[in-house]
Structure 1
Amino acid sequence: MTVDDRFGQGMGEVRKNRLLGTASEVVTDPVSDWATDFSHVDPVWAADPYPILDELRQRCPIAHTERFGGVWLPTRYEDVAALAYDTERFSSRAIIVSNNKPPLDLAPVGDAPPITSDPPFHRDARQLLLPMFAKSAVAEQEEATRAYCHELIDAMRGREIVDAARDYAQHIPVRVIADLLGFPPEDGPRFRVFVENVLESINQSPEERLERQDELVGYLVTQIHEHVARPRDDLTTYLINAELHGQKLDPMHVVGTMMLLLIAGIDTTWSAIGASLWHLAKTPADRERLVAEPELLPTAIEEFLRAYAPVTMARLVKQDMRWKGVDMKADDWVLLSFPAANRDPAQFERADEVLIDREVNRHAAFGLGIHRCVGSHLARMELRVALEVWLERIPAFALADSAAVTWAAGQVRGPRALPLRIS
């Protein structure tokens, strides 16, 4: 079978095969009790989840809600870690909680491999991506990333107030991922819509979510056709030509991995950059110290990742069981709250404080277990370069209006609006 045959008319099946699984009722009522009725898309949670997580850690420590068809929320580091490493009892076939639980026959591949893949398929699917995200490969992208950060700040010249989330943070990973996948950089605004559709519209009906996600799948199918017609040296062409177990990747695998890289590669880093700038804007002592001691920035970055970890993943319970004192049912969701784990005082001294010179910092911001973020080197490079350039060009800045700062609601949390006064 030629490349044209594999990615020809058969690509239409990719869009048809996004099956609906088990649907649950859409609930938008205010939370009545965070221990028994929590919602991670509630505005109160989005604004500041840490006091809630601290309270739950002391009360539960595993919260539960009937929303989304049933979700559990462990809040202790040891429980989050145990869950992350337990692939025998928890499946990764869906990692975004929503009102639709995908059918069992998606396992072990899932619809966005390798992050939605279970063993043994997961290991080989992950291995395919590692060369593209090795430190040496990431280093080749640093110069262009730095130049783009300067370009973004150049565009702010003469303005007293800028939105550091919308004018700066969100653009950096969009450009990096577009370059990596070989997508047109001018499509950046579309990428942001795709991110919001996948990650911030989970409390909608499955039909509505599927309709929105179909726009993303359609875009990716178009890009694949472009790359089949005109191969180039990028990750999309690499995936088209890659082999697994002696065979070329199934078109569904190619589309799913591209979807993963586009969504996860943008929102997580965008959120981390924005949260770091938010912290420095409201904490003048830390900002001034990093300007005076730029060599401290790598250590500070790890602390920002710990304290403001943007990502919470999800698993599905494989079968009825009693786990850590609670009775879980087959196909219950379980949230892997890395933000909660990173604020556990049993794991970190002064866990609720942001210490930019914290030396011992084995945080879980990039995940734990077999699904630890394959793009962690890339994310660290983007975060470091974004902050280096910002602090070099704009050493003095502050929140223009703290009440105007807004945060994304869902499993990836970061500032969506961040007005800063820069002059």
Structure 2
Amino acid sequence: MTVDDRFGQGLEEARKNRLLGTYSEIVTDPVSDWATDFSHVDPAYAADPYAIQDDLRQRCPIAHTERFGGVWLPTRYEDVAAIAYDTDRFSSRSIIISNVKPPPELAPVGAAPPISSDPPFHHDARKLLLPAFTKTAVSRQEAATRAFCHELIDAMQGQDVVDAARDYAQHIPMRVIADMLGFPPEDGPRFRVFVENALESVNRPPEERFERFTQLSDYLVVQIQDHLANPRDDLTTYLINAELHGRKLDPTHVVGTMTLLLIAGIDTTWSAIGASLWHLAKTPADRERLVAEPGLLPTAMEELLRAYAPVTMARLVKEDMSWNGVDMRADDWVLLSFPAANRDPAQFEQANEVVIDREVNRHAAFGLGIHRCVGSHLARMELRVALEVWLERVPEFTLADPAAVTWAASQVRGPRTLPLRIGAVPG
């Protein structure tokens, strides 16, 4: 069997895995009671989850719904942390809730290793990626990232209102991830479609989601084949050649990891940049202080990550059990809301206030436990550079129309449209 044949068969296996699992009824009705019938894709939750989470934390710290085949939602930091660290009772074999629950047989690898992997496989799969995401490796991306941010702002000259989500925030991680994987930079618009297909169609029919994932996997195999024919020094070639336990990575592993890097590596950072600009646009005191005190930005950035943490991950319950007063069934989903954990007043003083000079800030924006984000150094670099360049070039900006801001209704929350009034952009 040739290498090309191996990846072709691997793609077919990955596609079959997408069809496996337990299907549940699609429910699109409005939420009747957030404690017993919540939906994380409800428009009200997308617009402002914090008030809902605060209410649940007071009267029902672990909410439940029968949607998606059964989901639990803990809202206290201690509960989120306990589940994140408990790999014995909670599986990561699928971290995006949808109407299909993959079978236990997919563990311990899952569809997108290492984020979908359980111990002991997880440790070695994660270790493979670490060299590409060290501080030293990330620092080599900074100059190009900064130059690209300037290019994006140069293109805004002459415009009074720009969409900072679509015209700025989304493009930065797209370019960085494309460069790291060795993908054509002009494919950025396709990446946006892949992200939205993966994360914002979870309440669509399974066959539709399968077709959307097929578009992504087809694209990735084309890129893999190009790298097989033309090897170069990038992350795709590295994954193709990497070995685990003395053998080349399984093709489904390569495709799954590339899917993870493309989807998670883009949407999380895109959302963090957008949410930060949204906050600064509506909070002139914080914006003016950061313009006057640029050295405060690293501290402020951590606070913005805490307050507007974009990521909520999922786990699957391994066995029927009673957990902290609720009766969980095998294969129930659990939503690990790191945004809710970050606003728990039992963990943070002034939890619902953005304090840009907060000194003690052990937030959970990058997750907790063994699955803490492997790309956190990269995300921090991109966020810092994006804000540094924006505040340098566009020190004055406001929301052009607060009502026109829209937010992603998915497990990665960030502005999808963010119209800002910016006035003149200096050359």
Shared fold (TM-score, shorter chain, > 0.5) = yes
Distance (whole Å) between structure 2 residues aligned to residue 42 and residue 270 of structure 1: 21
Say if 1:313 and 1:336, in contact at 8 Å, map to a contact too.
yes
Task: Decide whether the 8 Å contact of 1:75 with 1:337 is kept in 2.
Answer: yes
SS of residue matched to 1:210 = helix
Q: Percent identity?
A: 84
TM-score (normalised: structure 1): 0.99
The superposition leaves residues 92-143 of structure 1 with CA deviations (integer Å, 9 ceiling, x where unpaired) of 0000010000111100000000000000000000000000000000000000
State how 1:272-291 maps to structure 2 within 5 Å. Answer: 272-291=272-291
Cα deviation, residue 6, structure 1:
3.0
Q: Who is 1:240 aligned against?
A: 240
Judge conservation of contact 2:14–2:111 (CA < 8 Å) in 1: no
Where 1:7 maps in the other structure, the secondary structure is helix
Q: Which position in structure 2 is the counterpart of 1:415?
A: 415
1:149 Cα offset (Å): 0.1
Find the residue that maps to 1:416 and give its secondary structure. strand
CA separation in 2, counterparts of 1:399 and 1:13?
47
Residue 208 of structure 1 corresponds to which residue in structure 2? 208
SS in 2 for 1:335: strand
Map of 1:121 onto structure 2: 121
In 1, the alpha carbon distance for the partners of 2:13 and 2:412 equals 30
The 3-state SS of whatever aligns with 1:166 is: helix
Deviation at 1:378, TM superposition (A): 0.1
- Is contact 1:303-1:361 (8 Å) kept? yes
The residue number in structure 2 matching 1:335 is 335
Map residues 30-41 of structure 1 onto 2, 5 A cutoff. 30-41=30-41
Native 8 Å contact 2:10 2:250 kept in 1: no
SS in 1 for 2:322: strand
1:24-173 aligned at under 5 Å gives the runs 24-173=24-173
Counterpart AA for 1:81 = A
- Matches of 2:121 and 2:210 in 1, distance apart? 25
Quote the residue 1:224 is aligned against. 224
Between the aligned partners of 2:201 and 2:254, the Cα distance in structure 1 is 24
**Other-structure match for 2:391:** 391
Once the two structures are superposed, residues 206-254 of structure 1 have per-residue CA deviations (whole angstroms, 9 ceiling, x without a partner) of 2211111111011111111111011111000000000000000000000
2:378 maps to what in 1? 378
1:334-371 deviations in whole A, cap 9, x for unaligned? Answer: 00000000000000000010000000000000000000
Give the C-alpha shift of residue 4 in structure 1.
4.2
Could you tell me whether the CA contact under 8 Å between 1:15 and 1:218 is conserved in 2?
Answer: no
Identify the residue that residue 317 of structure 1 maps to in structure 2: 317
Q: What is the letter of the counterpart of residue 165 of structure 1?
A: A
Assess, with a 3 A threshold, how the Cα gap between structure 1 residues 98 and 8 changes in structure 2: closer, same or farther: closer
Deviation string for 1:375-411 (max 9, x for gaps)?
0000000000000000000000000000000000010
TM-score calculated relative to the size of structure 2: 0.98
Q: Is the 8 A contact 1:270 1:414 kept in 2?
A: yes
Unmatched tracts of structure 2, length 5 or more: none
* 1:23 to 1:226, Cα distance in 2 relative to 1, 3 A: same
* SS of alignment partner, residue 172 of structure 1: helix
- Aligned partner of residue 266 in structure 1, secondary structure: helix
Letter of the structure 2 residue corresponding to residue 140 of structure 1: R
Aligned counterparts of 2:117 and 2:387: Cα–Cα separation in 1: 34
Matched to 1:129, the amino acid is L
Aligned-partner Cα distance in 2 for 1:409–1:105: 30
Instruction: Tell me which residue corresponds to 2:186.
Output: 186
Instruction: Give RMSD over aligned pairs.
Output: 1.0
* 1:281–1:209 distance in 2 versus 1, CA, 3 Å: same
Return the alpha-carbon distance in structure 2 between the equivalents of residues 20 and 197 of structure 1: 19
